[in-house]
Amino acid sequence: MRVTSAVRSAKRGPLLQVVKSAAATIGAWMIAGWLIPGPLPVFAAIAALLVVLPSVNQSFTKAIERSIGVIVGVVIATGLSLLLGAQSWVVLLAIVVAMVTAWAFKATPGMGNQVAISAMLVLALGADSPQYAVDRILETLIGVVIGIIVNALIVPPVHTGPARRDLGLLGVEIAASLDRLAAALPVERSPQQLQEIMLEARLLRPMQVAAEASVTAAEESLTLNPRRSTRGEVTEMRALLRRLSPIVTQVIGMTRAYFDHYDETLPDEPTVHAIAEQLHRAAHDARLAVQVADVAPEPETLTSAIPALTAPLRITPPASGHWILIGSLMEDLRRIREELIEE
C-alpha cells in the first residue's frame, strides 16, 4: 500500500465545506471570547470545527456527542484536580478514568475519545476552579450551536446528485445484463463466454450497494435540513431502488442457472427463444423505469414509453432435459415482471 493513500483521499472535498468550517470556527472563537472573558476560547473553536459536517443531521448528532463528551470530561478533570491537586500525573490519571468511564457506559468511540481529550485539555490548560469547568462547558455549547447554525444557513448540502447517478447506472446495467442473457440463450456459447456473462452479472451487486449508500446519504442530507424541496425526489428514488434491488437478485440467479445448466443442445429448445424475447422486453422496461424516474444517463437510443413486457409467458413442459433451467428462468422472469409492471 502506498504511503500517500493513508493521508490523501481519492478526491478533494467541496471547497464550500472548508469555507463553512472556517466561518464557524472564527465565529465561535469571537463570540465565546466576547461572552466568556479569560483563557483563549479553544474549546469553542474545536467544537465548531468538529460539528460542521456534510449534512445538518450529522452536525446535530456530532453536537450531542461533542457536548456530552466535553461535559463528562470536564467534570472528571475538575473533580480529580480538586481532589488530588495540580500534579502532572493527575493528567494521565484523568485520561485513564475518562476512558474507563466511557467504556463502562458503552459510549461511542467518538464520544469516548472526546471525554478523554476534554479531561486532558482542561488539566493541561489549568483547571483551578469549578468556574473554569463551567466556562469550558459553556464554550463548547457556544461552539456547537454556532457550528450547527453555520452548517444550516450556508447552502446546506443536499446529496441527490450522486444518488441519481448511481441509481441510473444500476438500472442501465440491469437492462444490459438482461439483454446479454437474452442474446446468449438461443445460441451456443464457449466456456469463456459463459464466464464473461457470469462475471458481468455479478457486477450488479456492488452497483446495488453503491446506489443504496447514495440514496441513504441523500435521505440523511435532508434530515433537519431547511432545504426540503427535494424530499419528494428522494422518496421516488428510494421507491425505485426498492423495485430494482430484487431484480438484481433475479438477474444474478438467472445467469447463474444458465451458467450451471448450459449445454450445447439448449438453443434447440423452442421455449428458450420465447424466454429470450421476454428478457429483451424486461430490459426495455428496466431502462424505461429509470428514465421515468429521471435518473437515467443520456440514452444512446430513445426508449419507447410503452412497457414491453406482455402477460406472463405460458409454456408446456419442455420436451428435453432442460426443465430445471427453464423452470428457474420462468420463475425469475415472473418475479422481474412483478417489479417492473406497476399494476
User: What is the pLDDT confidence band of residue 252, given thresholds at 50, 70 and 90?
Assistant: very high
User: Could you give the angle at which helices 160-184 and 191-202 cross, rounded to 10 degrees?
Assistant: 160
Of 218, 240, 245, which is closest to residue 296 (Cα–Cα)?
240
User: What is the pLDDT confidence band of residue 301, given thresholds at 50, 70 and 90?
Assistant: very low
Predicted confidence at residue 8, as pLDDT, reads 64
Predicted confidence at residue 321, as pLDDT, reads 66
Predicted confidence at residue 324, as pLDDT, reads 80
Predicted confidence at residue 206, as pLDDT, reads 92
User: What is the pLDDT confidence band of residue 338, given thresholds at 50, 70 and 90?
Assistant: confident
Predicted confidence at residue 10, as pLDDT, reads 62
Q: What average pLDDT does the segment 124-131 reach?
A: 69
* Higher-confidence position of 167 and 55: 167
CB 158 within 8 A of CB 231: no
Instruction: Report the b/e string of 245-282 with b at 16+ CB within 10 A.
Output: eebbebbbbbbebbbeebeeebeebebbebbbbbbebb
Judge whether residue 331 has pLDDT over 80. Answer: yes
Predicted confidence at residue 165, as pLDDT, reads 87
Judge whether residue 303 has pLDDT over 80. Answer: no
How many C-beta atoms surround the C-beta of residue 13 within 10 A?
10
DSSP string, 268-335: G-HHHHHHHHHHHHHHHHHHHHHHHTT-PPPPSSPPPSS----SPP--PPPSSS-HHHHHHHHHHHHH
Predicted confidence at residue 314, as pLDDT, reads 61
Judge whether residue 142 has pLDDT over 80. Answer: yes
User: What is the pLDDT confidence band of residue 45, given thresholds at 50, 70 and 90?
Assistant: confident
Cβ neighbors of 186 (< 8 A, separation 6 or more) are 267, 272, 273, 276
Judge whether residue 12 has pLDDT over 70. Answer: no
Q: What average pLDDT does the segment 281-306 reach?
A: 68
Q: What average pLDDT does the segment 202-218 reach?
A: 89
Residue ranges per structural domain of the chain: 14-153, 160-340
Judge whether residue 269 has pLDDT over 70. Answer: yes
Q: Residue 81: exposed, middle, or buried by beta-carbon count in 10 A (0-12, 13-18, 19+)?
A: buried
Judge whether residue 6 has pLDDT over 60. Answer: no
Predicted confidence at residue 205, as pLDDT, reads 93
Q: What average pLDDT does the segment 114-143 reach?
A: 79
> Which percentage of the chain shows pLDDT scores above 90?
10
φ/ψ of residue 67, rounded to 5: -65, -50
Predicted confidence at residue 304, as pLDDT, reads 53
